[in-house]
Chain A
Amino acid sequence: MTRKIDFDIDLHHLARVEGHGNIHISVRDGRLAEATWAVVETPRFFEAIVKGMSAERVPFLTSRICGICSISHFLTSIRALERAMEIEPPEDARLIRLLAMHGETLQSHALHLFFLAAPDFLDAPSVLPIMQSHPDIVRAGLLLKELGNEISITTTGRATHPVSLVLGGISKAPSKEQLLRLQSMIAERLPALEEASEFFGTLSMPDFVRETEFISLRNGSTYPSIGGQLVSTDGVVREEDEYLQMTNEYLVEFSTSKFTKLSRQSSAAGALARFNNNFDLLHPRAKAAAAAFGLEPACHNPFMNNIAQLVECHHIMEDAAMLVDRLLDADLRDIRTPYKPKAGKATGAVEAPRGILYHHLETDEAGKVVKADCIIPTTQNNANIHHDLHALVEQALQEGRTEQEAEKLCVMLVRSYDPCISCSVH
């Protein structure tokens, strides 16, 4: 039933998301007149300021694109530069980097699920009142977030903005004691993850489906993290260096963050995209967790990105434990390959917590960066969020929902994408 109502929803600087974004919805005569997702973040021009900098220093700068996924940015620049200058990092350094990615993603997913998303489902303005009303749940979330940070500290020297990742490998390996500590922390915190999953099982995700194209990395042998082919649920397969054909960035009038598209008017990246493209490569426990939520590939409900993040936490716990065991067996002596700077160009693609992240870097003979291009996961979700808002409000009107209900659904939708807005503008 469609009622003849008029309303405007204007949400300026949306709360509980990273960065500054606005939602504007306008309904006239019971019909949707306009729905926009506008990013109003101030640009920082990273692609321009990185020029002229030595390759060695570049990751320290690009990591500052994002405070939540700094390890991903650091490693994406490193991957681009190592490919450009043909540097092969030693195997043990590769393992440590993979573990570092797990730490960051666990921290980021826990932050999103408990601090940013959960309050909507419990009608709270923030996690603070939930600390009183559901102390055990918040405690479980904090235990997972702390574990994520601890993994990052052990592998990179710091939770935010890594210090010991370097071109050619890593500058310092974790000690046996640190790795043993991680080993027991992971085992001890599995019950916290079970508790978290049980809690999210009691929440109901809004029923909304809009078919889209999901893009992620895929390597065919492990759940994606650093490098691989670029694939989509519409059957597109490309190589890392062909990233431009995968993203097709364009400018829109109302946003300082660009939009992207591939086979359709929009596409999506992130946990749900990785899940949809790589379900077969998840650890059995993560598959079981997905089954418990009724989550199957390909799922086109964007609200289920929350659940896909939780499923990934299960995978991370298992895979991180395996990596720690392998590192405990390794001697961790060969951790850094020396290199000579040289001219080259290459793309690095990494699955950051919020989706596929590309840095394309070109160096001159002295190893100085002469050209840079960064495409951020949230940028690749902007168009999808924008078109989802349209479809979601239309559905809400069809269902005869009130303005307040429609508004709540809109903000929950945007938060489900876990947008990282300052990162997307960079």
Chain B
Amino acid sequence: MNHLGFELTRVLIGSFDFTCCEGCQLQLANKEATLPEFLALVDIRNFREISSERLDDYDIALVEGSITRSDEIERLKAIRARAKVLVAFGTCACFGGVNSLKNRIPQEELVREVYDGKVIETMPSMRIGDIVQVDLSIPGCPVSKDEVERIMVGLVTRSAATLPKYPVCVECKQQLNTCLFDLGEICLGPITRAGCDAVCPTGKTACLGCRGPAEDINYPSFVQLVKDKELSAADMREKLSLYNGFGGYLDQEN
């Protein structure tokens, strides 16, 4: 492989899943038209979901899911010890994701409700960064393959791979969408990090903040906007809590 006349080597990657839906890993096999080019960048050493070959000599570990059981902590630490770069891959890994909704409920109660008192080990959902050092975060529920491709190219060419700092509204306006606030709906676009091409508002559905906060957001003015438009504070909180990306902001309020 050649880039601007320099010989490049493929990056050795491993892809690992913890508590989650595995939808982020699945994106690696999507965008079929550019899949051969994508696979030319990476050498897949360990990816249980698609290969029975499991090698431990990966440089980059993509880690999907959140942590909800003690055996997962050990498995994650072993991956961290082997990987040069550990990527929190997707919203569950970056923020805890939808799994964090269980943290509001006593864990014994959950087990009683779903397993009729059978002994099942579980603990409050933790982010990957709560357990090990994370070198790079790629948020999204699921991650956007375009962004993953861009970041992989960055890793292969040893150039900076960064996320957009601005909010979803910027991308939404580029698509010339009617703002959902004008249609009477709360949208988290003004405070959420862009990079998804504003896929939800473009589909006429509110942004639910899966990519977490954009940089330097003005949270109080967002809350004021919801108030000024006489929209429901409960609806706003439900949206903000879905992916756990705004935990800190929600706590401030209470």
Residues of A within 8 A of B (CB): 13, 15-19, 42-45, 47-49, 53-54, 57, 60-61, 64-68, 70, 111, 115-116, 119, 125-128, 131, 142-143, 145-146, 149, 156-161, 163-164, 166, 171-172, 251, 256, 422-423
Contact = CB atoms under 8 A, between A and B. Distances in A.
A145 B27 CA distance: 12
A64 B205 CA distance: 17
A111 B24 CA distance: 15
Contacts of B203: 156-158, 163-164, 171-172
B29 A111 contact: yes
Contacts of B101: 49, 61
Which among A44, A149, A160 has the highest number of chain B CB atoms within 10 Å?
Answer: A44
A163 B29 contact: no
A45 B102 contact: yes
A156 B204 CA distance: 11
A19 B29 contact: no
Interface in B193-215: 199-200, 202-205, 208
Which among B26, B105, B110, B118 has the highest number of chain A CB atoms within 10 Å?
Answer: B26
Contact of A68 (B26, B72, B98, B115): B26
B52 A16 contact: yes
B196 to A, nearest CB: 9
A15 B116 CA distance: 30
B99 interface: yes
Contacts of A43: 114-115, 120, 122
B98 A15 contact: no
B25 interface: yes
B109 interface: yes
A42 B204 contact: no
Given A45-B110, A160-B30, A67 B25 contact: yes
Contact of B142 (A142, A145, A157, A161): A161
Contacts of B44: 126, 128
B204 A171 contact: yes
Interface of B: 17-27, 29-30, 32-33, 35-36, 39, 44, 47-54, 68-69, 72, 97-99, 101-102, 105, 109-111, 113-116, 118, 120, 122, 141-142, 199-200, 202-205, 208, 235, 238-239, 242
Nearest to B207: A163
B21 A422 contact: yes
A18 B22 contact: yes
A43 B29 CA distance: 25
Contacts of B200: 157, 163
Given A131-B36, A158-B203, 15 more contacts: A15-B51, A15-B54, A42-B68, A43-B114, A48-B109, A67-B21, A67-B22, A128-B44, A142-B32, A142-B35, A143-B32, A158-B199, A171-B203, A171-B204, A256-B120
13 contacts: A42-B19, A43-B115, A44-B20, A67-B24, A111-B29, A126-B53, A143-B32, A149-B32, A161-B141, A172-B203, A256-B120, A422-B19, A422-B21
Contacts of B29: 111, 115, 145
Nearest to A18: B22
Contacts of B30: 149, 159-160
Contact of B50 (A126, A157, A161, A423): A126
Contact of B22 (A68, A142, A164, A172): A68
Contacts of B36: 131
A145 B18 CA distance: 25
Contacts, number: 155
B98 A48 contact: no
Contact of A49 (B26, B98, B118, B202): B98
B237 to A, nearest CB: 11
Contact of A48 (B25, B49, B50, B110): B110
Which among B18, B116, B142 has the highest number of chain A CB atoms within 10 Å?
Answer: B142
B160 to A, nearest CB: 28
Contacts of B25: 67
A158 B26 CA distance: 13
A45 B114 contact: yes
Given A48-B114, A64-B98, A128-B44, A15 B35 contact: no
B155 to A, nearest CB: 19
Given A125-B51, A160-B26, A47 B142 contact: no
A342 B157 CA distance: 56
A77 to B, nearest CB: 14
Contacts of B26: 67-68, 111, 160
Contacts of A158: 199, 203
A44 B54 contact: no
Task: Enumerate the 3 nearest inter-chain pairs by beta-carbon distance, A residue then B residue, closest first.
Answer: A67-B23, A157-B203, A126-B51
A375 to B, nearest CB: 12
Contact of A164 (B35, B205, B238): B205
Nearest to B53: A125
Contacts of A70: 21, 23
A160 B98 contact: no
Nearest to B116: A251
Contacts of B20: 44, 67, 422
A367 B241 CA distance: 18
Contacts of B242: 57, 60-61
Contacts of B18: 42
B23 A16 contact: no
B102 A44 contact: yes
Nearest to A146: B32
Given A48-B110, A54-B238, A143-B32, A60 B102 contact: no
Contacts of A44: 19-20, 68, 98-99, 102
A68 B49 CA distance: 12
A395 B164 CA distance: 58
